[in-house]
Amino acid sequence: MKFSANLGFLWADRPLPDAIRAAKAAGFDAVECHWPYDVPASAVRAALDETGLPMLGLNTVRGNPGENGLCALPDRKPEARAAIDQAIDYAVQIGAGAIHVMCGFAEGPQAEATFLENLRYARKACPDSITLLIEPLNRHDAPGYFLHSSQQASALLEKLRLPGVKLMFDCYHIGRTEGDLVTRIRDLAPIIGHIQFAAVPDRGEPDRGEINYAFVIDAIEKLGWTLPLGAEYKPRETTDTGLGWLSDMRL
């Protein structure tokens, strides 16, 4: 199995280009990030070219302090679309493969309609080479976040019916609130665009906690999944001291 380092959490104390180089040195096959916009795209692209690592994806911005995305907020459509345009422009410059469209804190039919409208806008504006991702966040960490379950995400994608818009299946978020990960991954496989993981419940390295990731990853491999899995966890100490899982899970 191949693995991607999420540089929103791993080597987060380093400038993004240096974090990319650290991921290469540690043996990761790819990288992904959260909000790279303060770093010149040219510097990120140079580090990617130097290391040969693909950038799997990035997020649309959260918005104002305390917010967690804009794209399901009915009264924030101009800002949401500016965030989408920003993400597309940056993703094109660095060759990123996907954009996670963050919906924010909202609820109800109007929020759903707004999110669908903004996803349609994003798909029309986005090159076909870039996948759009939507991600349910668990209610423990992100109470009030619009998208909060895999069932809700699946229903939205069914309503949307657009190619190149898929589910980001984060084993940590789904594990905290739904469980039964292998069954859910198997059932949702046709609409999954990216898989991430971290320990449950502490979101640390995947070598302990409630989820046996050796079992889960073996099941994912048996489904024929070949894309890198995203290591989006918060190191319990430093990134480098917690990387023992990486070699163990390659065996």
- State the catalytic residues: 135, 232
Alpha-carbon dihedral 158, 164, 169, 170, rounded to 10 degrees: -130
The secondary structure of residue 146, as a DSSP letter, is S
State the greatest distance between any 2 C-alpha atoms of the chain, in Å, as a whole number.
50
Radius of gyration of the chain (CA): 17
Six-digit token string for 188: 């949702």
DSSP-derived 3-state class of residue 239: coil
Distance between CA atoms of 184 and 177, rounded to whole angstroms?
A: 12
Pairwise CA distance, residues 14 & 7, whole Å: 9
Task: Please check whether residue 250 is in contact with residue 2, taking contact to mean a CB–CB distance below 8 angstroms.
Answer: no
CB 43 within 8 A of CB 83: no
CA dihedral 139, 144, 146, 147 (to 10 degrees): 0
In terms of Cβ atoms closer than 10 Å to its own Cβ (0-12, 13-18, 19+), residue 47 is buried
